[in-house]
Amino acid sequence: MKPRLLSLLLTVSLTLALAYYIYIPLPDAIQQPWKLMMLNAYLRTAFHVFTFGFEGILKEFLSSESSAGAVPGVKVSDITFAGIPVRVYEPPAGGEGHLRRGLMYFHGGGWAFGTTSEQMSIFKLHLNPLCVCRYRLYPDAHFPVPYLDCLAAAKHFLSPEVLAKYSIDPDRVAVAGDSAGGNLAAAVAQEISVDDSMSVKFSVQALIYPVLQALDFNTPSYLQNQYIPLLYRTNMIQFWLQYLNIDLSLMPEFFVNNHSALQHSSLTPELRSRLDWNVLLTQKYKKNYNPVIVEKGSEGFLKKVPSLLDVRAVPLLAGPEVLAKCPRAYILTCEHDVLRDDGLMYARRLQDAGVAVTSDHYEDGFHGCFSLTSWPLEFDVGKRALRSYLNWLQNNL
């Protein structure tokens, strides 16, 4: 075979292989599909790098952030709150006696990676102090360590001494987070809301496509969006198992809900009702899906892994008496996200408990879009979601 023909065949083969690797069918509602496909291919490759043992390199890259100089006029301090590493963004003071709003933010990343989503708030949060908690991550830490890190940092941030130091109005302090960070924000907000020893509590909570339960991986959104980037059903289950320190070989049990079978007496009817999507979701989101309820699953599973029923890990299981004390909420959900129903169910349960909730749903949204607002990873839905989030904080905090 002539070298030129061989080169042509090799080029065509590589092009087809690359196209096959990149292309995935996407819903018509998602704009800029090829950009999302390219980003997804990149992240899938990165995830494989993590899986094959190069997590140190990958985590350092995914956790990298802009330097302090990238935030003009804002003082950036890497310090500790109650021994927990935090980064504080402190804008210029507004004059003596002028109190500002404050925000405690927990980043997403499946409890395994750091992300740069905090930057979205830094630049546009109307010059108010922002504290980002550097909670410990997998594989160095499992539940409850990340939660306890966030809780300790939040309590320190809410102390009168720290609020006074940063000129923060104690009646205007928010907690927020995206994805796994939304899980931590919801759990921390619940705990502080019922803690009578806390003189200052969060005024509002803002949850960006939060992950809130690990007992049903067959909700309509998990099934509808199981192959939609940027968060696949498989990846989310793996993140949960890593967070709760469960053997990854048990993943097939979670796909079919064997871990939450009816035989488990510890998962009482009352607890099941707290995540019963057949009741908590409207028909618009239930569509034609049916609940996957297993009569007899893995023997003694929940006794071996009690964290699956721990509200500190699974905020959706909190009782109505706890939810009733929670601060008013903003919950952002995306139609093309496996976590859509987690957020919608939590919004419904908070509302049923008497909490004011703003439910902000994006029909063209997908998991991760909130952080994709800058060139070259710029999506219109991400910019709209970010504006809405910031406007809500501006008007409610």
pLDDT at 50 over 80: no
50 or 376, greater pLDDT: 376
H or E stretch at 168:
strand 168-178
**Mean pLDDT to the nearest integer, 150-167:** 97
pLDDT at 347 over 70: yes
pLDDT at 265 over 60: yes
pLDDT at 74 over 90: no
Structure confidence at residue 145 (pLDDT) = 98
CA distance 363 to 94: 39
DSSP string, 275-306: T-HHHHS-HHHHTT------SS-STTHHHH-G
CA distance 66 to 64: 7
pLDDT at 123 over 50: no
**Mean pLDDT to the nearest integer, 368-393:** 92
Structure confidence at residue 6 (pLDDT) = 63
H or E stretch at 373:
strand 373-374
- pTM here is 0.91
Structure confidence at residue 75 (pLDDT) = 86
Q: Are 314 and 214 in contact (CB under 8 A)?
A: yes
Three-class SS state of 366: strand
**Mean pLDDT to the nearest integer, 283-307:** 92
Binned at pLDDT 50, 70 and 90, residue 21 comes out as: confident
- Other beta carbons less than 10 A from residue 152's beta carbon: 18
pLDDT at 124 over 60: no
Which residues does 166 contact at the CB level (< 8 Å), separation at least 6? 88, 90, 100, 102, 129
Which residues does 223 contact at the CB level (< 8 Å), separation at least 6? 233, 289
pLDDT at 260 over 50: yes
Q: Which residues are catalytic?
A: 179, 337, 367
The number of C-alpha atoms within 13 Å of 30 and in the hemisphere containing its C-beta is 23
Domain extents in the chain: 1-62, 73-91+100-213+310-396
Binned at pLDDT 50, 70 and 90, residue 301 comes out as: confident
Which residues does 335 contact at the CB level (< 8 Å), separation at least 6? 29, 361, 362, 363, 364, 365
CA distance 183 to 313: 7
Q: Are 211 and 236 in contact (CB under 8 A)?
A: yes
What residues are paired with 328 via a beta bridge? 204
**Mean pLDDT to the nearest integer, 91-120:** 78
Structure confidence at residue 283 (pLDDT) = 98
- Has domain 73-91+100-213+310-396 been given CATH number 3.40.50.1820? yes
Q: Please state the separation of Cα 337 from the chain's center in Å.
A: 11
CA distance 70 to 28: 37
Nearest CA-CA partner of 358 in 104, 131, 163, 174: 174
Token duo for residue 244: 């709760």
pLDDT at 49 over 80: no
Q: Percent of the chain scored above 90 by pLDDT?
A: 74
